[in-house]
Amino acid sequence: MSEREEKNRAEFVASAEAMYDQMVKWRDEHPDASFDEIASQVSHERRKLMGQLLEGLATRHAAEVEALELECPECQGRSEGKGKQKRDVTHSEGDTKLKRGYRYCPRCGSGFFPPGSETETGGT
């Protein structure tokens, strides 16, 4: 496991532990809460945790892909790197912000986030 991967894993585990502690504390503060109320609180916090996991998985190979000379998916011309762009992703499992390399094709004028739409999170 790479140093970056170990760091991401440790951050995710720490977030999961913090969520658990937060939910136990909330439950102690709400002893009369119904099962549905408990589930609602857990669901809200779970979405945040899953957003963190989705971000890590979606950008896992970004550095390797961004280093490649990728052809344009529209015209197969040679694309150019145009730096990093942020994008908000809303998904039923969790919301996140992705910061990924953006490519531009001077030949046809299209831009895209590699490796392409097949791997983009949430279909947005």
Identify any residues that bridge with 99 across adjacent strands, giving them in sequence order.
Answer: 86
Q: Which position has the higher pLDDT, 13 or 69? A: 13
H-helix or E-strand spanning residue 3: helix 3-29
Asked if 105 and 77 count as a contact pair (C-beta separation under 8 A), the reply is: yes
Asked if 94 and 54 count as a contact pair (C-beta separation under 8 A), the reply is: yes
**Residues whose CB falls within 8 Å of the CB of residue 46, separated by 6 or more in sequence, listed in order:** 19, 94
Model confidence band, residue 5 (pLDDT cutoffs 50, 70, 90): confident
Model confidence band, residue 115 (pLDDT cutoffs 50, 70, 90): low
Question: Domain range spanning residue 113?
Answer: 3-123
Asked if 89 and 98 count as a contact pair (C-beta separation under 8 A), the reply is: yes
Q: Which position has the higher pLDDT, 30 or 79? A: 30
Q: Count up the domains in the chain and report the number.
A: 1
The predicted pLDDT at position 40 comes to 95
Among 31-40, 45-54, 91-100, whose mean pLDDT is lowest?
A: 91-100
Please spell the DSSP secondary structure of 72-91, one letter per residue: PTTT-PBPEEEEEEEEEE--
Distance CA 38, CA 95 (A): 21
Here the tokens at position 33 are 């809460």
32 pLDDT more than 60? yes
Number of H helices, E strands in the chain: 3, 3
48 pLDDT more than 80? yes
